[in-house]
Amino acid sequence: MPSFLDREHTVAPPGYSRWLVPPAAIAVQMCIGEIYGFSVFNLPLSRTLGISKPAPGDWSVPTIVLCTYSLGLVLLGLSAATFGKWVERNGPRKTMVASACFFCGGLVVASIGVRLHSLPLLTLGYGLMGGIGLGLGYIAPVSTLVKWFPDRPGMATGMAIMGFGSGALVGGPLGVVLMDHFKSPTSVGVSEAFLVMAGLYFVMMSFGALIVRVPAPGWAPEGYVPSTEARKLVTTAHVSADVAWKTPQFWLLWIVLCTNVTAGIGVLAQASPMAQDMFGVSAAVAGGFVGLLSIFNMGGRFFWSSYSDVIGRKGAFCVYFILGCILYLLIPYSQRLNSVTFFGAIASIIISMYGGGFATTPAYLRDMFGTMEVGAIHGRVITAWSMAAVVGPQLVTNLSAYQRAHGVPREQAYNSTMYLMAGILIIGLICNLLVREVDPKHHHREWIA
């Protein structure tokens, strides 16, 4: 790749505004976050042959979800873990360009796959290539942002990760608009929509890559004086990625993220059927409920992560787990009251903390392991998300189905799941409370900021 993509050529000149970095990060995250809005393509993709209704040979929705959404999220975690050190070595610009090439190239391949009705091509494009683009793009700006904002790392990573949460808000409606525009008697419009999205996203991600910079060695914000006093659970040392994952802190934080995501994604993925089953609301109202959750998922990432700068990361996760546990236990009560408004309020706060957990994690890792290879360490922790993305929805779906099969009324079938989620959050709380400073024997000796 051309040298202007290299880390050395992205060092910021004196006077470069650090406030250019968050929009660069958001530009990339907003595009790859499109995967959260992928569900709008499920039904049209299941009718690519029959157009108005599924025909023999058309793909089933579970197959589509498995080959695109699920595989993409699994590859996100695997590629973030695999390429984390490469990302640290090569810097954010080259990583963002690589992410754009994989993600947008994957959309083009998926578009061809839809046009030829080839499931392997769709899987290769959206699931494999798209998933690698997701992993690279997700971790690309993290270590850069925490270095630019040593005074407010939670807020900085919150802005970037908020961008990922906003991907569903933008990508879902954009996909619907494009499919409506391109659909015809011979096409559901998905292939064309993928192509246009590939072009738009490539422009947006390239813009992010163009303006991103890394701070010069020794740079600090004007007026910022690093604290000389040792702050509890905020290290001034650094731990390499290869050492970090051998520490108990890494695995405690892995479980902390996994439990927080499992509980949240279980509700997020099943929000619409839950609202319909528990309260008998129409599909339109349930759709509105999903839209509301998307807004809180995005807003929570910025709000809670910024708040963690005030109360500390451990304190923030204690809030997520304790408050989350109480709220999950209140969901069956909201069903007994038959109050969909109360349920909506509870679920919105839960989802805001689900997003908050994602956004607080990079800052937590920075506090524990320093900034030297925080991007690579974050990449390895992200595998917890892949695990949770598979486990969470399965828990909700299967447990509620089991309850119904054993005679529990449909509106009460989710109650046990809510108690289970509360239990999962307690496991996360215990792990969070066990987190201590990393033993100094693991600190890296040669790195200079």
Partner 1 sequence: MNDSARKSPAWLVALAWLLVALPLSWGLYQSVLKSRPLFMGPPSHTAPAK
Percentage helix, strand, coil, to 5, in the chain? 75, 0, 20
Phi, psi of 234 (to 5 degrees): -130, 105
- Report the nearest approach of partner 1 to the CB of residue 437 (Å): 30
- Report the nearest approach of partner 1 to the CB of residue 32 (Å): 14
- Report the nearest approach of partner 1 to the CB of residue 223 (Å): 10
Comparing CA positions, the residue from 151, 147, 303 lying closest to residue 231 is 151
87, 95 Cβ separation under 8 angstroms: yes
Residue with smaller CB distance to partner 1, 19 or 446:
19
Q: How far apart are the first and last CA of the chain?
A: 27
315, 433 Cβ separation under 8 angstroms: no
Got the DSSP string for 34-96?
Answer: GGGGGGGGHHHHTTTTTTTS--TTPPPHHHHHIIIIIHHHHHHHHHHHHHHHHHHHHHHHHHH
DSSP state of 413: T
Residue with smaller CB distance to partner 1, 58 or 411:
411
Residue 4's CB is within 10 A of a number of other CB atoms, namely 11
- Report the nearest approach of partner 1 to the CB of residue 325 (Å): 25
Got the DSSP string for 188-209?
Answer: -SHHHHHHHHHHHHHHHHHHHH
- Using CA atoms, how far residue 312 sits from 158, 224, 307, 316, 361, in Å, is 14, 19, 8, 6, 11
Q: How many residues does the chain have?
A: 449
- Report the nearest approach of partner 1 to the CB of residue 137 (Å): 14
- Report the nearest approach of partner 1 to the CB of residue 136 (Å): 19
Three-state SS for 275? Answer: helix
- Report the nearest approach of partner 1 to the CB of residue 211 (Å): 6
- Report the nearest approach of partner 1 to the CB of residue 22 (Å): 8
134, 35 Cβ separation under 8 angstroms: yes
What is the contact surface with partner 1 in residues (CB under 8 A)? 13-17, 19-20, 23-24, 26-27, 30, 163, 166, 169-174, 204, 207, 211, 216, 218-220, 222, 276-282, 284-285, 287-292, 294-295, 335, 338, 340, 344, 409-411
User: Token pair for residue 243?
Assistant: 């050492």
- Report the nearest approach of partner 1 to the CB of residue 15 (Å): 4
Q: How far apart are CA 290 and CA 32, in angstroms?
A: 20
Three-state SS for 234? Answer: strand
Q: How far apart are CA 231 and CA 93, in angstroms?
A: 33
Provide the residue type at 418 as one letter.
Answer: M
Provide the residue type at 199 as one letter.
Answer: G
- Report the nearest approach of partner 1 to the CB of residue 17 (Å): 4
Residue with smaller CB distance to partner 1, 410 or 436:
410
- Report the nearest approach of partner 1 to the CB of residue 6 (Å): 21
Provide the residue type at 438 as one letter.
Answer: V
Q: Which residues contact 394 (CB under 8 A, 6 or more apart)?
A: none
DSSP state of 11: B
**How many whole angstroms from its chain centre is CA 180?**
28
